[in-house]
Amino acid sequence: MSSRRRRITILIFLIVPAVLIGVNWRWLPYLYQLAKHQSKVILYKEPIAERLLATNLPMAERRALESTLKIRAFIEKHYAITDSKSYRSYFALGRAELGFNITLAPAFSLKAESFNFFPFGKFDYLGFFDRDLAEAWAQRYREAGFDVHISEIGGYSTLGWFEDPLYSSQLDWGDYGLARLLGHEIAHERLYFKGDTTSSELLASFIERKIAADYLIAEGQPFPDEREQARAQAKAKEFYGLIDALKARLEDLYKTDLPAAKKLTEKRAVFRAFQDVLKKRQSEFAQVGAARELAQRPEINNATLIQFRRYAAVNAALQRTYDACLKKPEGKYVCWFSELDKLQSCTPEKRKAWLSAAQAAAAPCPD
Q: Quick: pLDDT tens for 46-102.
A: 999 999 999 999 999 999 999 999 999 999 999 998 878 899 999 999 999 999 999
- With H, G, I as helix, E, B as strand and everything else as coil, classify residue 322: helix
Alpha carbon separation from 227 to 214, 222, 224, 327, 331 (Å, rounded): 16, 14, 8, 21, 24
In a domain, 237, yes or no: yes
- Together in a domain, 194 and 78: yes
Q: Tell me the per-residue pLDDT of 218-270, one tens digit each, with 9 for 90 and over.
A: 999 888 777 887 888 889 889 989 999 999 999 999 999 999 999 999 999 99
Q: What percent of the chain has pLDDT over 90?
A: 66
- Together in a domain, 135 and 241: no
- Together in a domain, 214 and 259: no
Q: How confident is the model at residue 5 (pLDDT cuts 50, 70, 90)?
A: low
- Together in a domain, 289 and 155: no
Q: 322 with 329: CB under 8 angstroms? A: no
Rg (CA), the chain: 21
| Amino acid symbol at 212 | A
Cα separation, 36 vs 94, whole angstroms: 14
Q: What are φ and ψ of residue 365, in 5° steps? A: -125, 75
Q: What angle do CA 83, 77, 89 make, to 5 degrees?
A: 55
- Together in a domain, 210 and 80: yes
Q: Are strands 46-47 and 89-91 parallel, antiparallel or unpaired?
A: antiparallel
In a domain, 316, yes or no: no
Cis peptide before 58 (omega within 30 of 0): no
Alpha carbon separation from 6 to 13, 92, 327 (Å, rounded): 11, 20, 48
- Together in a domain, 213 and 254: no
> What's residue 121's pLDDT?
67
Q: 195 with 344: CB under 8 angstroms? A: no
Cα separation, 267 vs 56, whole angstroms: 56
In a domain, 331, yes or no: no
In a domain, 294, yes or no: yes
- With H, G, I as helix, E, B as strand and everything else as coil, classify residue 71: helix
- Together in a domain, 246 and 294: yes
Q: Which residues contact 351 (CB under 8 A, 6 or more apart)?
A: 193, 196, 199, 343, 364, 365
How many independent structural domains does the chain possess? 2
Domain end position, chosen among 310, 338, 360:
310
Please give the model's pTM, rounded to 2 decimal places: 0.84
| Range(s) of the domain holding residue 231 | 226-310
Domain end position, chosen among 218, 234, 263:
218
Q: 141 with 148: CB under 8 angstroms? A: yes
- Torsion, Cα 122 194 342 176, to 10 degrees, reads -100
Helix (H) or strand (E) segment spanning residue 350: helix 348-355
In a domain, 350, yes or no: no
Domain end position, chosen among 167, 186, 218:
218
In a domain, 96, yes or no: yes
- Together in a domain, 19 and 150: yes
Q: Are strands 166-167 and 89-91 parallel, antiparallel or unpaired?
A: parallel
Q: Which residues contact 331 (CB under 8 A, 6 or more apart)?
A: 78, 80
- Together in a domain, 152 and 237: no
Lowest mean per-residue pLDDT among 116-130, 133-147, 154-168:
116-130
- Together in a domain, 101 and 183: yes
> What's residue 23's pLDDT?
52
Identify the bridge partners of residue 102 per DSSP, sorted by sequence position: 126, 150
Cα separation, 59 vs 64, whole angstroms: 9
In a domain, 51, yes or no: yes
Lowest mean per-residue pLDDT among 61-65, 159-163, 326-330:
159-163
In a domain, 320, yes or no: no
- Together in a domain, 156 and 260: no
CA of residue 291 relative to chain centroid, distance: 17
- Together in a domain, 230 and 212: no
